[in-house]
Amino acid sequence: MIKKIIGIDPVNPEPDSIAKAGKIIRNNGIVIFPAKCLYGVAANALNEKAIKKVFQLKQRPLNNPILVLIPDKSILPDLVKSISEPAKKLMDAFWPGNLTLVFEAKDNIPRLLTANTGKIGVRIPSHPVAKALVEAVNFPITGTSANLSGHKGCKQTGQLVPSILDAVDLVLDAGILKGGTGSSIVDVTTSTINVIREGEISQDKINKTLVF
């Protein structure tokens, strides 16, 4: 189990470690990685087998969709049906960063990922390790937190439960993260923008961005 955990520089992640993690994800394995606030679970977000592993290790209800991380905005049209003007404003203001936008998912997106909602949550991460990892694979990866469903997220790898450690292929340990509420989640599928969860980016900041 110890060999599964490798230290990684949170500011300048070692290319060899990122390459190792990327290879695992490309082979539909599971990697735990540091994001800005908490540790997350990375898997190929377009592969049903990999997504199923994420649901199983988190003991996550199948009606609870999983958000994805992307390397840049150019991938977005492959995942979503449309990008509204308000969505573009929010992306320009807060990506990369802790804002997840919920779009109408294209029909080719695995239903397991979207929990049959027809919607997909997407963000571009700002943490150097998360950013390097998703750029290395150059396709969407899962961005859900590395905890059992309904339990607190982990801001250090020592908080990971044994069943999750057993189920994953690699842990990228960047030390203690700042913790917190995680990303804000905004539904941009309708003309009225809906803040589903207020996280690091406040509703006030979101509203002010949309006014200008």
| 106-127 pLDDT per residue, tens | 999 999 999 999 999 999 999 9
Question: Can you give the pLDDT at residue 158?
Answer: 95
Interval 14-29 mean pLDDT: 98
Closest-CA residue to 21 (of 166, 174, 129, 164): 129
Q: Residue 29, Cβ neighbours under 10 Å: how many?
A: 17
Question: Can you give the pLDDT at residue 200?
Answer: 86
What pLDDT band is residue 180 in, cutting at 50, 70 and 90? confident
CATH topology of domain 2-211: DHBP synthase (3.90.870)
| This prediction's pTM | 0.95
What pLDDT band is residue 171 in, cutting at 50, 70 and 90? very high
What pLDDT band is residue 192 in, cutting at 50, 70 and 90? confident
Q: Which strands make up the sheet holding 144-145, listed edge to edge?
A: 5-7, 170-173, 31-34, 39-42, 144-145
DSSP state of 2: G
**Paired residues of 44 in beta bridges:** 141
What is the C-alpha to C-alpha distance for residues 185 and 169, in angstroms, rounded to an integer?
A: 29
What pLDDT band is residue 2 in, cutting at 50, 70 and 90? very low
- CA-angle at 105, arms to 103 and 109, nearest 5°: 145
What is the C-alpha to C-alpha distance for residues 157 and 123, in angstroms, rounded to an integer?
A: 23
Residues 6+ apart with CB under 8 A from 24: 30, 31, 169, 170
Interval 34-46 mean pLDDT: 95
Instruction: Let me know: does 172 contact 56? Beta carbons within 8 Å.
Output: no
Question: Can you give the pLDDT at residue 100?
Answer: 97
Closest-CA residue to 157 (of 24, 32, 16, 49): 32
Question: Can you give the pLDDT at residue 182?
Answer: 77
Stated as kind and residue range, the H or E segment containing 89 is: helix 85-94
Instruction: Let me know: does 21 contact 172? Beta carbons within 8 Å.
Output: yes
Question: Can you give the pLDDT at residue 144?
Answer: 94
